[in-house]
Amino acid sequence: MTPIRFTVPGAPVGKGRPKVSTRGGKFARMYTPEKTANYESLIAIAAQQAMAGRPLITGPVDVRMMITLPIPASWSKKKQAAALAGQILPTKKPDIDNVEKAIYDGINGVVWTDDVQVCDVIKRKRYGAIPGVTVQVQEIQGALFAA
């Protein structure tokens, strides 16, 4: 099967923690923060376009993800060039695992049935001139290791 590949444009957003609100002081309601919900919608749109009407993947999948963060404008030209060359790595938010979770939740029901199908993952977080997350999903065919 041909891999599904798409890019979510803009600065990556990590999955936010659920928020809790109360009504009348008695009933608690949990909800996804608006920033996370908006980002997951953007992910779903990008993934849906890449799927181009293909059926959902129902078997195990391999995911590859390149998370590209914007370079801070406040940095010197020299430091910006070093970041573009990969000499400075992003050790700041968003956390790589929170971006991964947002991507998975955004493509549930769009690319695959559920993110429990993810069996292999390669992910990277770097600085780049054009921020975004490039995602490739490939169904795993057959056994990878002989018994």
Nearest CA to 7 among 138, 119, 124, 103?
103
Q: How far apart are the first and last CA of the chain?
A: 24
Question: What mean pLDDT do residues 25-51 have?
Answer: 85
Q: What is the pLDDT of residue 29?
A: 74
> Percent of the chain at pLDDT above 70?
90
Residue 19 lies in a domain: yes
The model carries a pTM of 0.86
**Does residue 54 fall inside a structural domain?**
yes
- Token look-up 């009504």 returns 23
Residues 6+ apart with CB under 8 A from 10: 42, 131, 132
CATH number where 78 lies: 3.30.1330.70
**pLDDT for residue 135:** 98
Q: Which residue has the higher pLDDT, 144 or 85?
A: 85
Tell me which residue range forms the domain holding 47. 4-139
Residue recorded with tokens 């109360």: 22
How high is the pLDDT of residue 144? Answer: 54
Predicted pLDDT at 91: 95
